[in-house]
Amino acid sequence: MSGATVDPAVLEKVRGWRPYVEAKLGFRNHWYPAVFSHELLEDKPVETMLLGESILLNRLDGKPRAIRNRCLHRGVKFSKQVECYKKGTITCWYHAWTYNWADGELSDIITNPSSSLIGKHRLKTYPVREEKGLIFVFVGDIDPPDLSSDVPPGFLDEGMAIHGKRRMVKSNWRLGVENGFDASHIFIHKRSKLVAGNDIALPLGFAPIDAGDSTRAVIGDTGPTGLYDLLGEKSIPVFEGELSGETVIEGHFGAKKVADNISIWLPGVLKVDPWPQEGMNQFEWYVPVDATTHCYLQVLGRMTATKEEADAFRQEVDAKWIELALDGFNDDDVWAREATEEFYGDNDRGWIEERLFETDMAIVEWRKLASQRNRGIQRSDNL
Ligand code: FES
Ligand SMILES: [Fe+2]
């Protein structure tokens, strides 16, 4: 895949978080949400791309399965024309090599039933978990750790109802993470209809009191590894935007204080608590698709006591919060990330030409943590 490898001359100059800059295609050996459960129907294979790997998902007897979307024979994608002649198998449209979905074994070759290769080759299969209405795929080579080590705290809690949407964004996944976890990026949300319409307090930015002490790391032994942004407590919010002593723009002095806790977790998922109002959380993944695209998967969560409450919450998300928050607010983030892609993506030079300021300390701490604690870097020879 072109552009998947970072310019070595750039890597040479990166200090402090080189593995992160290398991870253009994401971190290997982690769990990623690929699609929503409702997108994966019984025996209807769906193609997905994670970390540059083309993967074919399917649901068989209700159970989600994932295989490499590339025939071992001549490398074509099964998804070009999906052919299944027996339940639990997939047959390549080209020369009819036939594989088991469950373990990837080459079980038959219809065009040469006596081939000595039958039973001797195995297609890569991926561990899959279905939780909270999402299909998670483990992209890697090691025995997968529990899913709970790769999702934010609270996400898997019993009673946490989850609902949302996903879309493709034309920027590298790291620009997604760094937009979400960037304290001063809230400047782009100053005209958001969510803020005015929902009476939210939203400053223009934050002046850190001690930029060196603006995050708290959580290193998970069994749980997830991530970082809390403490700027809310350790900064002075800027509501009056001044130039030469004259107020030129103002933040929004709403009554509702939200987003008290913002945290980022490996392999690249943000939690905002509470958001977009008290009693709700937003979780959002920036899933690497290829070097210049990420899947922005946004969900809202609320603790519920019954199935009826959970259903009502999902209806409320559909009726109100998608338009107001997941689109109305986060559309700002999408275009900001896409506008950042050119500088970082075209020749990787943004990583060494950027000039960071005090409020970027949280981003710097994330880069360091991710560099130290990831389980592997996706390389082009894995593709
Ligand atoms: S390329 Fe798939 S069977 Fe030949
Ligand atoms: Fe934002």
Pick from 108, 1, 6: nearest CA to 346: 6
Query: What's the confidence (pLDDT) of residue 1?
Result: 45
How do residues 249-263 score in pLDDT, each as one tens digit?
999 888 888 888 999
Query: Is the same domain home to 185 and 303?
Result: yes
Give domain status of residue 19, yes or no. no
Output the CA torsion sign for 25, 29, 30, 31. Answer: positive
Whether the predicted pLDDT of 23 surpasses 70: yes
Domain end position, chosen among 104, 129, 154:
129
Q: Which residue is listed with tokens 């603790």?
A: 303
246 in any annotated domain: yes
The answer as to whether 24 is a domain residue is: no
C-alpha to C-alpha distance for 332 and 191, rounded to whole angstroms: 9
> Across all residues in the chain, what is the average pLDDT?
95
For residue 16, count CB atoms less than 10 angstroms from its CB and return exposed for 0-12, middle for 13-18, buried for 19 or more.
exposed
The total of structural domains in the chain comes to: 2
Judge if 352 and 226 occupy the same domain.
yes
- Give domain status of residue 221, yes or no: yes
Four-CA torsion 136, 373, 232, 158, nearest 10 degrees: 30
**Average pLDDT, integer, range 272-295:** 97
Cis peptide before 267 (omega within 30 of 0): yes
Stated as kind and residue range, the H or E segment containing 262 is strand 261-265
H or E stretch at 288? strand 281-290
Contact 319, 184 (CB under 8 A): no
**Domain limit, last residue, from 75, 103, 129:** 129
Residue position matching structure tokens 């300021």: 357
Identify whether residues 196 and 328 lie together within a single domain. yes
User: Mean pLDDT across the stretch 350-370?
Assistant: 95
Per residue in 131-167, pLDDT (tens digit) is 999 999 999 999 999 999 999 999 999 999 999 999 9
Closest ligand by atom to 121 CA: 1
- pLDDT confidence band for 353 (50 / 70 / 90): very high
Contact call for residues 102 and 65 (beta carbons, < 8 A): yes
In this model, does residue 379 exceed pLDDT 90?
Answer: yes
192 and 70 share one domain: no
Both tokens assigned to 91: 């047959």
Q: Domain limits at 357?
A: 145-382
For residues 367 and 19, give the distance between their C-alpha atoms in angstroms, rounded to a whole number. Answer: 9
Same domain, 121 and 179: no
Q: Quote the pLDDT of residue 346.
A: 84
Pocket lined around ligand 1, Cβ cut-off 6 Å? 71, 73-74, 76, 92, 94-97
Stretch 322-347: mean pLDDT: 96
Ligand 1 center–CA 97 separation, angstroms: 6
| Pair 36, 46: CB distance under 8 Å | no
- Would you say residue 324 has pLDDT above 60? yes
For 287, phi then psi, to 5°, come to -80, 125
Tell me how far apart the terminal alpha carbons of the chain are, to the nearest angstrom: 8
State the pLDDT confidence band at 301, using cuts at 50, 70 and 90. Answer: very high
Give the pLDDT band (50/70/90) at residue 232: confident
Q: Whose CA is nearest to atom 1 of ligand 1?
A: 74
How would you classify the pairing of strands 30-36 and 281-290? unpaired
Query: 184-218 pLDDT, tens per residue?
Result: 999 999 888 888 778 888 999 988 887 778 888 99
Is the pLDDT assigned to residue 222 strictly greater than 50?
Answer: yes
Question: Where residue 92 sits, what CATH number does that domain have?
Answer: 2.20.25.10
Nearest Cα neighbor of 316 from 296, 333, 301 is: 301
Does a structural domain hold residue 354?
yes
Residues 157 and 103 both lie in one domain: no
* Dist. CA 380–CA 2, nearest whole Å: 9
Nearest CA, atom 3, ligand 1 = 95
Strand order in the sheet with 226-229: 160-169, 293-303, 281-290, 269-273, 261-265, 226-229, 215-218
Do 115 and 167 fall into the same domain?
no
96 Rama class: left (phi>0) / alpha (psi -120 to 50) / beta = left
Measure 383 CA to ligand 1 centroid, in angstroms: 18
Determine the residue type at 375.
Answer: R
Q: Are residues 112 and 152 in the same domain?
A: no
* Residue 189 lies inside a defined structural domain of this protein: yes
Nearest ligand, measured from the Cα of 78 = 1
Q: Report the percent of the chain where pLDDT is more than 90.
A: 85
What's residue 197's pLDDT? 78
326 and 224 together in one domain? yes
Work out the angle at residue 274's Cα, subtended by the Cα atoms of residues 269 and 276, and round it to the nearest 5 degrees. 90
Among the three residues 129, 162, 184, which one is the final residue of a domain in this structure?
A: 129
Tokens 């001690």 appear where?
210
User: Which residue is associated with the tokens 């002490």?
Assistant: 213
Per-residue confidence band for 315, with pLDDT thresholds at 50, 70 and 90:
very high
Beta bridge partners of 299: 164, 283
Q: Are residues 108 and 171 in the same domain?
A: no
Output the domain CATH number for residue 286: 3.90.380.10
Q: pLDDT per residue over 83-96, tens digit each?
A: 999 999 999 999 99
Angle ∠(94,78,174) on CA atoms, nearest 5 = 145
Place of tokens 């999906």: 82
Atom of ligand 1 nearest to the CA of 109: 3
Q: Quote the ligand 1 centre to 141 CA distance (angstroms).
A: 24
Residue 165 sits in the same domain as residue 303? yes
Residues 50 and 175 in one domain: no
Instruction: Give percent above pLDDT 70 in the chain.
Output: 99
Q: Is 16 inside a domain boundary?
A: no
- Tell me the CA–centroid distance for residue 332 and ligand 2, in Å: 7
Instruction: Band the pLDDT of 170: cuts 50, 70, 90.
Output: very high
Give the ligand 1 atom nearest the CA of 97: 3
- Tell me the residues surrounding ligand 2 (ion) with CB < 5 Å: 333
Residue 322, in any domain of the structure: yes
